């Protein structure tokens, strides 16, 4: 029983951290210009988009395990 409590608490903490990270990445994306000609900015935009996808996948995984 105690072990299950710790598992649920860990999952809840991970969900909170991932949600904050998703929010921060979304905010960072607002500073990027999608029509930029800069190769560096385009690479950063792709990395940010990939990060958002990964964070979303992680949150979906947690949601599926807590149902």
Q: Are 11 and 66 in contact (CB under 8 A)?
A: yes
Copy the structure tokens of residue 50: 């990939």
Res 36: pLDDT: 87
Q: Are 8 and 67 in contact (CB under 8 A)?
A: no
Q: What is the pLDDT of residues 25-55, one digit of tens each?
A: 999 999 988 888 999 999 999 999 999 999 9
Residue 19 CA, distance from chain mean position: 6
> How is the chain split into domains, by residue range?
2-65
């Amino acid at each position: 029983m105690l072990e299950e409590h710790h598992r649920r608490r860990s999952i809840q903490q991970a969900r909170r951290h991932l949600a904050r990270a998703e929010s921060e990445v979304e905010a960072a994306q607002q500073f990027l210009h999608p029509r930029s000609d800069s190769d560096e900015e385009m690479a950063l935009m792709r990395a940010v988009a990939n990060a958002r996808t990964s964070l979303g996948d992680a949150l979906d995984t947690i949601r599926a395990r807590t149902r």
